[in-house]
């Protein structure tokens, strides 16, 4: 199919058929890591990040290099953007140098503005609102573990953050049920809640036992995201304390239920060592899948 969407910004803005194609292509690219060595021959990319990263940066740099392309990592603060050059001017200039820009940006609206002024592909490598590349890797991991995503029950436990938002966006397209236990104080913002309210597949509750009932997968994330207000730290940890994924919680879920976490984890807060280090945990497989799925995203969004 190839090249339907040039940008990869929010999952629900793509068509389901595109996401299915990306997952299938990621499977092939994982099965043969040496395939498609020339796919991005002559293509160049910029990774423009304003937040730290281990997995996203390394897996994108490696994905681009293994597909034959080249890339430059730019810390946003060291560019003229950091001194107030406009997003419009930056986007128009960079569009003349490279074939795609992978952006990690604190402010989702800035990413949208960047894409509005770009003639090239823009890929969202995490904003305060969403993390689509991550959830594609998570869906790939679910498929590897269960053979299918259809009919699964995914239980999100914890903060209603950017990763939670993206699970909601994904569940509007895929046939899994999403039961979320999120404290009232931290439920997602209205625009995301509106998406959730329209879907009979999504349920948001403060009752953890209800959310994890019959779950195939328990998923959580840090209680404090990179964009969170540091002054809220102790209040947030206190409120989220009872949403910890631990042995007691896992004792209540089916024997074949798995644990996912996008990492980095804050062991002892949202998840205990006993869970993240157990054989139910697939977090390193999930992290590896970032590489394969991002190769597939590049293959999909970048014209030959």
Taking phi over 0 as left and psi of -120 to 50 as alpha, with beta for the rest, 200 belongs to alpha
Q: Please measure the distance between the N-terminal and C-terminal CA atoms of the chain and give it in whole angstroms.
A: 12
Residue selected from 10, 169, 222, 294 as contacting ligand NVA according to rule CB under 6 A? 222
- Closer to ligand NVA by CB, 126 or 293: give it: 126
The two three-digit tokens of residue 49, written as one number = 């990040």
- Closer to ligand CP by CB, 263 or 274: give it: 263
Residue 145 is among the residues annotated as catalytic for this protein? no
Quick check: 76 binds ligand CP (CB under 6 A)?
A: no
Quick check: 266 binds ligand CP (CB under 6 A)?
A: no
Stretch that binds ligand NVA, among 74-82, 101-109, 218-226, 245-253 (CB under 6 A): 218-226
CA 237 to the chain's CA centroid: 22
Residue ranges of the alpha helices (H) in 152-220?
162-171, 190-198, 208-212
Q: Which residues of 90-116 are buried (b: 16+ CB within 10 A; e: fewer)?
A: bbeebbeebbbbbbbbeebebbbbbbe
Taking phi over 0 as left and psi of -120 to 50 as alpha, with beta for the rest, 209 belongs to alpha
Residue 292 is among the residues annotated as catalytic for this protein? no
| Of 109, 146, 142, 143, the residue nearest 219 (C-alpha) | 142
Residue 131 is among the residues annotated as catalytic for this protein? yes
Active-site residue, from 12, 50, 99, 104: 104
Active-site residue, from 12, 108, 221, 292: 221
Which residues inside 36-55 make contact with ligand NVA, applying CB under 6 A? none
Residue 189 DSSP code: P
Residue 221 is among the residues annotated as catalytic for this protein? yes
Which residues inside 75-134 make contact with ligand NVA, applying CB under 6 A? 126
222 binds, among ligand CP, ligand NVA, none (CB under 5 to 8 A by kind): ligand NVA
25 binds, among ligand NVA, ligand CP, none (CB under 5 to 8 A by kind): none
Dist. CA 247–CA 242, nearest whole Å: 13
Quick check: 39 binds ligand CP (CB under 6 A)?
A: no
Residue selected from 5, 53, 172, 203 as contacting ligand CP according to rule CB under 6 A? 53
Q: Which residues are catalytic?
A: 104, 131, 134, 221, 262, 290
* Contact residues for ligand NVA, defined by CB under 6 A: 126, 161-163, 221-222, 225-226, 262
């Amino acid at each position: 199919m190839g090249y339907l969407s040039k940008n990869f910004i929010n999952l629900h803005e793509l068509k389901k058929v595109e996401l299915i194609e990306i997952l299938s292509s990621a499977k092939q690219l994982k099965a043969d890591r040496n395939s498609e060595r020339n796919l991005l021959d002559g293509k160049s990319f910029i990774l423009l990040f304003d937040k730290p990263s281990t997995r996203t940066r390394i897996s994108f740099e490696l994905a681009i290099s293994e597909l034959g392309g080249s890339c430059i990592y730019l810390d946003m603060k060291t560019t003229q953007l950091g001194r107030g050059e406009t997003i419009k001017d930056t986007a128009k200039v960079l569009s003349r140098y490279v074939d795609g820009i992978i952006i990690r940006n604190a402010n989702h609206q800035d990413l949208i503005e960047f894409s509005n002024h770009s003639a090239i592909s823009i890929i969202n490598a995490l904003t305060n609102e969403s993390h689509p590349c991550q959830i594609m890797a998570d869906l790939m991991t679910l498929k590897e573990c269960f053979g299918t995503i259809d009919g699964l029950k995914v239980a999100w436990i914890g903060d209603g953050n950017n990763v939670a938002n993206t699970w909601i966006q994904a569940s509007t397209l895929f046939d899994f049920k999403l039961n979320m236990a999120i404290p009232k104080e931290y439920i997602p913002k209205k625009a995301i809640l509106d998406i959730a309210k329209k879907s009979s597949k999504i349920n948001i509750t403060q009752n953890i036992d209800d959310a994890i009932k019959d779950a195939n997968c328990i998923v959580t994330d840090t209680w404090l995201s990179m964009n969170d207000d540091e002054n809220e730290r102790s209040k947030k940890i206190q409120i989220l304390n009872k949403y910890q994924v631990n042995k007691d919680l896992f004792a209540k879920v089916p024997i074949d239920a798995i644990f996912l976490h996008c990492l980095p984890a804050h062991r002892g807060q949202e998840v205990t060592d006993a869970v993240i280090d157990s054989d139910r945990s697939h977090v390193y497989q999930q992290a590896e899948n970032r590489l394969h799925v991002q190769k597939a995203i590049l293959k999909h969004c970048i014209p030959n």
